[in-house]
Structure 1
Amino acid sequence: MTTTVNSRTHTWVPPMPPPAGLSGLEFLQGLIGGVYPPPPIAATMGFTLVHVEPGKAIFEGETGEHLYNPLGSIHGGYYATLLDSALGCAVMTRLPAGKGYTTTQLGVHMIRPAFAHTGTLRCEANAVHVGRTVATAEARLMGVGDGKLYAHGTTTCAIFPTAP
């Protein structure tokens, strides 16, 4: 039996925290506009933040064999990572300068498998509540080409002051 070996190479720029004085929305808009480098996880996993507005964040990710689990479909961790990224950024769009967040709970409901031929997945997240210490958000992961729901999820985030 002959085995084919594939490879995938990616590069990234070292991460940069939001500059002091910028709101979460301003920083994410700068990230989309190329003012700030994307986080390394985006290159590693093959997804991109494509849109933000107050309370909303949209990511798109490409499927491929490099994301397969042992059963030959896209690994659930990819779904979870897209959901977590979009959910967190939806919260971040509502944070003022000097505030940060971290995920404390992530709920993921996987509806159907995706494959390399599925193509682009789009994750749209909306902040539900952003308070002084806690935030919640919800998201849906859809196929761009087929319009099908692949997963949906929720998050709870802790809100905290960032270091000066």
Structure 2
Amino acid sequence: MHPKHLKTKTFNYGDSFEAIKLSKDLSGLDYLKGMQNGEIPEAAAVSALEISIHEIDFGKANFEFTPQDFHYNAVGTVHGGVISTILDTAMGCTLMSTLTKEFTFTTLELKVNFIKAVTQNTGKMIAVGKIIHAGRTTAMTEASLIDESGKVYAHATSTCLIMKKAQ
């Protein structure tokens, strides 16, 4: 690529390993609130994409981003991987917000439906997470990516494994 076509993006991110270490003694909600208030580094992946916490509470983790050109794919819309990332983040953190300090989770399966194209003209987008079912070892979650008027642009479901934290 010719240098005149290149843009530069820099970003700051926290120490992921420090965040993981801090999570060992915190409930999921306390961990997420620590990220929200800047006491705990947020995940580098969400920092790179400029995704941020919109709202955190027990059983609720909503994230937001404003589409920019670095989110785009080759056909001029926000890349499906970016949309999948924010939806996965909202679903996982919604589940995490309900877990005690002894437990963590991992995503086993993720399904995303892309409903409407997301572009810079769409404005701020919010991924709203919800728990469909949470048992002792598995959970099912969902999230919708909406604009500020509530119009849905994408919807996802996920199956998660709930497990004891490694000591």
Correspondence for 2:164: 161
TM-score w.r.t. the length of structure 1 is 0.92
Greater fraction helix: 2
Find the aligned partners of 2:9 and 2:120 in 1 and give their Cα distance: 14
Could you tell me how far 1:3 is from its partner in structure 2?
5.1
**Are the equivalent residues in 1 in contact too, given 2:24–2:165 (CA < 8 A)?**
no
Gaps of 5+ in 1: none
TM-score w.r.t. the length of structure 2 is 0.91
**Are the equivalent residues in 2 in contact too, given 1:100–1:162 (CA < 8 A)?**
yes
Find the aligned partners of 2:11 and 2:28 in 1 and give their Cα distance: 27
Could you tell me how far 1:133 is from its partner in structure 2?
0.8
**Alignment counterpart, residue 154 of structure 2, candidates 147, 151, 155:** 151
**Are the equivalent residues in 2 in contact too, given 1:103–1:157 (CA < 8 A)?**
yes
**Alignment counterpart, residue 86 of structure 1, candidates 84, 90, 94:** 90
What do the CA deviations read for 1:83-116 (whole angstroms, capped 9, x no partner)? 0000000110111111110100111111011112
Correspondence for 2:43: 39
Q: Which amino acid aligns with 2:92?
A: G
RMSD: 1.7
Correspondence for 2:136: 132
Matches within 5 A, 1:10-159: 10-15=11-16, 16-17=19-20, 18-144=22-148, 146-159=149-162
Aligned residue pairs, count: 163
* CA distance 1:19–1:3, shift in 2 (3 Å): closer
* Stretches (4+) displaced over 6 A: none
Could you tell me how far 1:19 is from its partner in structure 2?
3.2
